[in-house]
Structure 1
């Protein structure tokens, strides 16, 4: 039994069903809790008014209060985590640090540095699985290698799943070992860490465990319809839980257990999405080179266009394709984008505009509230056809037919592209097809009030098929010419 331990919270901002907190409380007589606003991460952010920083800060306020009510609280530091954690350990005289595993290359390097620093005077960093159901070598092929195709991975994942893997950690069984922070602890203001308030409240985002619990309760009532409704951005069909999962305000085990035990078609479809999350964690963990290049090295030979004006039009939601523009404006206005639309806009950037997927990945990284390196990289490489189990390069989303299929009345489009509010349904997906008198009647002149299309989709599709000729036969059935509506 240890005398003292420190729990290092990172992307796990809750006080229940928490692996590191449970093992620390079980292993030590006195347990302190800490969080570091890591300047190695914060200093790289492009905007001092970052919704994610405010989300974290408000979640920490709630977490500190919850831990204080149980006899503990949070010690919050601001600086490089690789320096602040060892310094705090020595200040408190702690024997071991308990934390939950992270799978990103930068986080793994940080943890290795902390572990080496602590080992210098006989202390240790203990890491635990918490944000995934399975990780490491738990789900491998029969040959002992990582899966690179999703469906076999999913089948193996489901075959391994038992109640053991989704049961909660009984944190409260040892809660008496929590120790109050010296001086009472507490969370600094945004200004004290160099940031500014955002519109988090105005966009209806309630941080922390309370916000997560409300969203989770709401989704449980809709889960059975998830499979039927998830692709329609104007419908309340998805879970809206991604940001809470990203920052660990609720437990992946409680979500996976609920979906697995529910067992209906909607729950099974949603469970598959949770398995995709584990899959991308696993891929990044085993292939840490992914952020730098294509999973399939041959695809690094693809020559992307240098088109800054087109990239800006895409970022700003003025491509002339209403569904693409509505999605990009939703991202800028709310810090979130519907999953179907993430695929549509990624395909549009890479296969209509011919721009490197890394530019899109970086833009999402700047703005997404739920930004997660593994899923963001995996999703972008999927759309660009450069990743593992990616969409074949000759399969190309048609932004007009995607719009007609998934936003048939243009409800979502009109919400985020209000200049098209009076465009009739028959033209809402391609407003440039209106005659001049029809444009006047709809109070939108194409090229003046709303852009004309920046590219012609059919011409762009042909260019894309030519662009990928350098990898013909590397990513599908030899390069069959096909469009994806």
Structure 2
């Protein structure tokens, strides 16, 4: 039996390959355990993706003569039930790295072995297991650049594992995927997702191929331009659900570099972003409370504010800062946000509004299709200043100049904030600076059809820096 979790693919899947290699019938099992055993429940956008990804996996398995058996409930109890029904004498799976997940898997493995069932786990999710790379002093890496240098210097992708040729086997009773109620209803807020995404292994490889066939060449310069549709790979949700593995991306990119199709600079820049995900998993593995607690405990003294109306304005894209609002609206409409804009909106929440990074991390967890248990908190803590290798506390992104620099022609803001689309470029990222004639001509009525800024940039920056000074003084007196 192969127990699928965050590895929803058939090719280059170590657990599935090991099972198929035994030459015995294979049972493909997915257990929906969302929120059970202390695990973090998936957010709404991730549930939407999972629904489509499971259906794609099920179709792929059926083409090979098999069945994806779906159960819901406690993982150990469901495994026991399927073993009892089928007589399976071995269970294989790929590892997870959160503390609760590791504890669950260790308990399951111990129980299976005690009853005489072969239980084996494999790495399908990372290039290198998070306990492998060590610093000179023997600890884990807490700074990305030396981690990336070490990884790049030692990693060689293993040979690709082929997709099984046949997956016929027992077909125990199964739930229909629709019975898991993963797709949103009443209302269905996901209507904009289908146009952007093709969940599943095929969609993942199509994305990778399309990216390596051209857009990757401009990646170092265009990855920061949110209005550039193919400036990034769009692979993050596929990685999140294991529809493609990082080793597959590494192999394909290196092959393109070696053949001359992709430049060295572009290829390595792209792979360094894959490595940031790896670094995030090192942090999660060593700090299991990463999504809840400050990595840097000094930030326990940070005087965060509580402001429900400001949080709501940020969540709904009504802050009065166009680049921030564009990002938050893109997130709601598509389940994704451009990486540069993620940094801008995160800085705005934690520094302009002085709201806790956990508020932002929780919102992203619910609304991102690529909400990852390691990358999401790592990125939020990096921006807030509380994380490993964090951005310096005094870095407060200016949403006006960030918009002018990275959305110079205004295409991104005009797409997502159409009510100000007729403003000239020079006013687009700061509508309140426009004169009455320009506002009237563009049909922009500040405070009516587009909000006034909910906070003034200079004052907000000074407040944030003052809060960090308070943090330092409290730390000194602690």
Moved more, 111-120 or 321-330: 111-120
Matches within 5 A, 1:105-116: 105-116=99-110
Whether the 8 Å contact between 2:207 and 2:235 is mirrored in structure 1 is: yes
Cα offset for 1:131?
A: 0.9
Moved more, 422-431 or 248-257: 248-257
Whether the 8 Å contact between 1:39 and 1:80 is mirrored in structure 2 is: no
- In structure 1, the residue matched to 2:333 is 333
Whether the 8 Å contact between 2:126 and 2:245 is mirrored in structure 1 is: no
- In structure 1, the residue matched to 2:260 is none
Matches within 5 A, 1:380-459: 380-459=380-459
Q: Separation in 2 of the partners of 1:254 and 1:195? A: 29
Q: Separation in 2 of the partners of 1:159 and 1:473? A: 41
User: Which residue of the other structure, out of 207, 232, 245, is the alignment partner of 2:199?
Assistant: 207
Q: Separation in 1 of the partners of 2:420 and 2:8? A: 41
Deviations 1:208-241 (A, max 9, x none): 1221122122111211111111000001200011
Cα offset for 1:74?
A: 1.3
Cα offset for 1:104?
A: 1.7
- In structure 2, the residue matched to 1:180 is 169
Instruction: Specify whether residues 139 and 67 from structure 1 end up closer, same or farther in structure 2 by C-alpha distance, changes over 3 A only.
Output: same
Q: Separation in 1 of the partners of 2:372 and 2:169? A: 32
- In structure 1, the residue matched to 2:16 is 21
Q: Separation in 2 of the partners of 1:461 and 1:169? A: 52
1:235 and 2:224 are equivalent in the alignment? no
Cα offset for 1:142?
A: 2.0
- In structure 1, the residue matched to 2:178 is 190
Matches within 5 A, 1:461-472: 461-472=461-472
- In structure 2, the residue matched to 1:40 is 35
1:123 and 2:117 are equivalent in the alignment? yes
Whether the 8 Å contact between 1:74 and 1:187 is mirrored in structure 2 is: no
Whether the 8 Å contact between 1:51 and 1:200 is mirrored in structure 2 is: no
Q: Separation in 1 of the partners of 2:182 and 2:208? A: 32
Q: Separation in 1 of the partners of 2:219 and 2:474? A: 34
Q: Separation in 2 of the partners of 1:226 and 1:84? A: 45
- In structure 1, the residue matched to 2:89 is 95
- In structure 1, the residue matched to 2:244 is 250
Q: Separation in 1 of the partners of 2:339 and 2:450? A: 25
Q: Separation in 2 of the partners of 1:46 and 1:111? A: 18
Q: Secondary structure at the match of 1:97?
A: strand
Instruction: Specify whether residues 29 and 105 from structure 1 end up closer, same or farther in structure 2 by C-alpha distance, changes over 3 A only.
Output: same
Unaligned segments of structure 1, at least 5 residues = 1-5, 479-485
Whether the 8 Å contact between 1:57 and 1:187 is mirrored in structure 2 is: no
User: Which residue of the other structure, out of 155, 162, 174, is the alignment partner of 1:161?
Assistant: 155
Moved more, 352-361 or 236-245: 236-245
Deviations 1:262-296 (A, max 9, x none): 15211111010001011101110122122221111
Whether the 8 Å contact between 2:324 and 2:341 is mirrored in structure 1 is: yes
Cα offset for 1:23?
A: 1.6
Instruction: Specify whether residues 51 and 180 from structure 1 end up closer, same or farther in structure 2 by C-alpha distance, changes over 3 A only.
Output: farther
Q: Size of the alignment, in residue pairs?
A: 463
Instruction: Specify whether residues 239 and 227 from structure 1 end up closer, same or farther in structure 2 by C-alpha distance, changes over 3 A only.
Output: same
Unaligned segments of structure 2, at least 5 residues = 258-262
